[in-house]
Amino acid sequence: MKNSDRFISLFKKLEKLVAEQSQLPRDESFSKMLAEITRGNTVFRHYKEYIQQYAKLRNAIVHESVSDDKAIAEPHDEVLSRLEEIVKKIENPAKVIPKFQVKIESVKPGTMISDALDRFYKGNYSQLPVIEDGKFFDLLTTDAVARWIAAHKEKGGYLLENVAIREVLPYKEVQDNFSFISRRTTLLDVLEIFRKIDYKEQPLDALLITNDGKKEQKLMGIITHYDVSKIYSLI
C-alpha cells in the first residue's frame, strides 16, 4: 500500500474521532468540528496544530492528485508514524491511573509532628495526606510545618515531640490547597489544571486521585506541581 493510501486511511480514523466528539451536525466541516471540540477537550487541543497540518495534506492528496492512481504527494514514513501515534493517543489518552498510582504514605491528625518530619525527609515528600477513620481529613505540607515552627520558635524545638498534626494544620497558608480528580483524568487535563492555577490567589499543592474524584473515596495517588516535568515526558 502506498504511503498516501495509508495516510488517508489513518486520517479517516481521525475524522471519525473528531466527529464523535463534536456536538455539531455530521455534515459540518472538519475544521469547524475541530475548532469546536478543542475549546473543551485538552487532548485534541494538544494535537490541534498537527491535525490542522495533516488536514491540509489530506486535502492536497484527495483533491489535487495527478491522476486516479498517483497522488500529488507521498507522505514520509515519519509523517505516517506521527499520525498513527496521535490517533492512538486520542483513542486512548494517558490517564493519571496507572501512571501515578502509588501506595499512599499518610499520617493521622494525632500523629506527632516529629514523626511527620521523619516521613517528609525519608520519603522526600513535600505533602502528606492526613487520614482519619479511613477517610481523607486534610493535607499536611512542609510549608505548614515551617510556619508553625516560626510561630513557636521562642518556645523551643522540643515541642515537636509533643505537638500533634491537627495543631499544625491551621497554620497552612491556604486551607484548601488541594483538589480531587478521578482516576480517568488525562495527563493533559492535569497540565491544564496546573496551567490555570493562580498561585498568588489560590495555591494548589496537590491533586488527589480517587476512583471518581470524590473526597470520601480511597486515595489512589497524588500529583504535585513538581510532577509536571514528568507528565510532559509521558505524553
Q: Encode pLDDT of 2-46 as tens digits.
A: 898 999 999 999 999 999 999 999 889 999 999 999 998 999 999
> pLDDT value at position 24?
92
Determine whether domain 98-234 maps to CATH 1.20.1740.10.
no
- What mean pLDDT is predicted for residues 198-222? 87
> pLDDT value at position 159?
64
> pLDDT value at position 78?
95
- What mean pLDDT is predicted for residues 127-145? 93
Burial of residue 33 (CB within 10 Å: 0-12, 13-18, 19+) is buried
- What mean pLDDT is predicted for residues 112-123? 93
Question: What is the percent of the chain where pLDDT is above 70?
Answer: 92
> pLDDT value at position 168?
94
Q: Is the pLDDT of residue 103 over 70?
A: yes
**Average pLDDT for the chain:** 90
CA dihedral 206, 210, 213, 217 (to 10 degrees): -120
> pLDDT value at position 23?
92
> pLDDT value at position 15?
95
Residue 117 banded pLDDT, cuts 50, 70, 90? very high
Helix (H, G, I), strand (E, B) or coil at 161: helix
Enumerate the β-bridge partners of residue 135. 132
Q: Encode pLDDT of 148-192 as tens digits.
A: 988 887 665 556 778 999 999 999 888 888 999 999 999 999 999
Helix ranges restricted to H, 124-163: 142-151
Q: Encode pLDDT of 223-232 as tens digits.
A: 998 898 999 9
Helix ranges restricted to H, 27-151: 30-37, 42-46, 48-63, 77-91, 96-99, 113-123, 142-151
So where are the chain's domains? 3-93, 98-234
Residue 68 banded pLDDT, cuts 50, 70, 90? low
Sorted by sequence, the CB contacts under 8 Å of residue 227 that are 6+ apart come out as 100
- pTM higher than 0.85, yes or no? no
Q: pLDDT higher for 152 or 127?
A: 127
* DSSP secondary structure letter of residue 2: -
